[in-house]
Amino acid sequence: GERLDATQYLRWVAANTLLRNGDYIDEVFFYGTLEKGGGSKQEPRLHMMGWDYDTVLKPCHPVPIRYRLKRVDDSLIYCGESKLDHFMHSDARLRGVYKRALTCMMQHEVTQQAWDAAVDAATRELQAYLTDRAVATVTWEG
């Protein structure tokens, strides 16, 4: 079976590409679960989640370091530096799945309306904290 949730990874790369986030290769956390496989057998499966987006919207890393490769020359993969990015670029089947995920996100998920709703929701959530004097005092002094 498929060990890595490839669809999840491809959607994550697509989201970072659309946001033009150049600092995502080391901002991911992979974790494993055991899931029912064929018969009663349990099989490991890797999932991932974005991690520590303190530098979102930054340009690509200037200098490759030990776990990064030369960037993929691909306008559909922003800052593609990982081995998985290189594989996605060179494997026609996987690239097709990625292009479909990217297209779907652009047409149905990462729209101006969705962006506005996310910004409005974040503003409302933060506003509650920013107008609470006790929270503001602890935040700025602490």
95/116 same-domain check: no
Count CA within 13 A, CB hemisphere, residue 46: 9
Q: Could you give the number of structural domains in the chain?
A: 2
Within 13 Å of residue 83, how many CA atoms lie on the same side as its CB? Answer: 2
Q: Is residue 29 part of a domain?
A: yes
Note whether residue 82 is domain-resident.
Answer: yes
87 and 30 housed in the same domain? yes
Residue 75, classed as helix, strand or coil, is coil
- Pairing mode, strands 28-36 and 42-50: antiparallel
Domain range for 102: 6-110
Query: Is residue 1 situated within a structural domain?
Result: no
The DSSP 8-state label assigned to residue 28 in this structure reads E
Q: What is the pLDDT along the chain (142 residues), one digit of tens a residue?
A: 568 888 888 898 998 888 888 888 778 888 888 888 777 888 888 888 877 777 777 788 765 565 556 777 778 888 887 888 888 889 999 899 999 999 998 888 888 888 899 889 988 888 877 777 766 665 555 4
Say if residue 25 is in the same domain as residue 66. yes
Residue from 79, 85, 43 nearest 61 by CA: 79
